[in-house]
Amino acid sequence: MSAQDKFMKLMDHFLQIPDVKKQGNSLKKNRKMFAMWTKNDQFVVKLPEERVNILIDTGKGLPYDPGTGKYMKEWVIIPPSSLESWIGYAEEAKQFAPSSKK
């Protein structure tokens, strides 16, 4: 199964959850993006900066640059791994997303 196929399965999983919506190749909770598939075929999640740093320092994640030349502090690329692992990171990111609409 390709990484993009895994992401599509991940999207199917999360779209069963009432407060999760799809916009393009991203997942949102309360209109705030928490996971996405980039045009460069990368799975990216939004997590607290400290957690992102830990993932990068331990080799479990890579810094995310959206093409501006600057890394985003709260976004991390999760390299290809098992679907279950990706679901775990996306669940963590969903919990980090705002809990109420603004």
**Structural domain count, the chain:** 1
pTM of the predicted model as reported, rounded to 2 decimal places: 0.90
Domain CATH number, residue 60: 3.30.1460
Q: Is the pLDDT of residue 20 over 90?
A: yes
- Asked whether residue 101 is assigned to any structural domain, the reply reads no
- Asked whether residue 50 is assigned to any structural domain, the reply reads yes
pLDDT tens digits for range 51-79: 999 999 999 999 999 999 999 999 999 99
Longest dimension (CA), the chain: 38
Which pLDDT score, from 0 to 100, does residue 76 have? 97
- Asked whether residue 14 is assigned to any structural domain, the reply reads yes
Q: Is the pLDDT of residue 1 over 90?
A: no
Q: Is the pLDDT of residue 102 over 70?
A: no
Structural domain boundaries enclosing 44: 3-96
CA distances to 22, 23, 35, 57, 73 from 41, rounded to whole Å, are: 17, 16, 13, 22, 20
- Asked whether residue 102 is assigned to any structural domain, the reply reads no
Minimal CA–CA distance to 76: which of 66, 94, 63, 85? 63
